Amino acid sequence: MHKQSYRAMTAGLKIVKLDESSIEQAAQLEKQVFKMPSSVDELREFSSGDNLFAFAIYLDDKYVGHVTGYITKHGVNIYNLVVIPEYRGKGIGNKLMEYLETYTKEELENAILLHVRESNVRAQKLYKSRGFEVYGKIPGFYGDEDAISMRKIVE
Ligand SMILES: CC(C)(COP(=O)(O)OP(=O)(O)OC[C@H]1O[C@@H](n2cnc3c(N)ncnc32)[C@H](O)[C@@H]1OP(=O)(O)O)[C@@H](O)C(=O)NCCC(=O)NCCS
């Protein structure tokens, strides 16, 4: 993609709390992408529960992805991050991660943690490019696959 159209893409991006206007689409997308998707009710809990979060990203007012997670004493934990397949590779996932780093600072947390399937090289590339480091591996975390544990200290 040319630099100019990439900029145009990121210019029209907006991130807000996931709400009723997109929750069905978000659940549908998870169902399409993940083996263990969050349901509409679970997404609703992520967006409204204590120490939980769910943010949706819009491109020119079209819902294109979201990130969910929870806060523990260790920091901000990513539960699921997903972008609509046709909209991948345009900087949207990166924008969500950038937003999450700002959110982490606002919540006075100093680390972002996540688990990713060992085979999910694309997501690992995104995290590494944002400065995440591998700190462990959990055998059988996903039932059918090990998880790589990654962390970024945000200062
Ligand atoms: C992982 C995911 C959220 C990334 O979203 P995205 O919008 O495609 O990400 P971006 O366009 O911001 O790309 C970010 C980085 O990912 C990597 N990437 C993007 N497209 C790629 C491709 N086709 N092949 C390999 N790596 C790619 C690159 O490192 C890229 O950084 P760069 O543009 O500086 O080179 C998206 O691929 C997705 O929804 N995947 C399925 C769900 C998933 O795996 N979630 C993560 C679970 S932990």
On whether residue 88 sits in a domain, the answer given is: yes
- Tallying the residues shown for the chain, one arrives at 155
On whether residue 87 sits in a domain, the answer given is: yes
Q: Which atom of ligand 1 is nearest to the CA of 85?
A: 39
Q: Specify the pLDDT at position 40.
A: 98
Q: How many domains does the chain have?
A: 1
Write down the pTM of the prediction. Answer: 0.93
On whether residue 78 sits in a domain, the answer given is: yes
CATH number at residue 89: 3.40.630.30
Is there a contact between 111 and 153 (Cβ–Cβ < 8 Å)?
yes
**Identity of the amino acid at 150:** M
On whether residue 155 sits in a domain, the answer given is: no
Q: Specify the pLDDT at position 4.
A: 46
Domain membership of residue 75 as a residue range: 3-112
On whether residue 63 sits in a domain, the answer given is: yes
* Centre of ligand 1 from the C-alpha of residue 94, in Å: 8
Q: For residue 56, what are the CA distances in angstroms to 2, 44, 53, 124, 153?
A: 25, 12, 10, 21, 23
Asked whether 129 lines ligand 1 (CB < 6 A), one says yes
Q: Within the chain, which residues score under 50 in pLDDT?
A: 1-5, 7
Separation between Cα atoms, residue 142 and residue 43, nearest integer Å: 20
On whether residue 101 sits in a domain, the answer given is: yes
* Centre of ligand 1 from the C-alpha of residue 88, in Å: 6
- pLDDT tens for residues 16-37? 999 999 999 999 999 999 999 9
On whether residue 120 sits in a domain, the answer given is: no
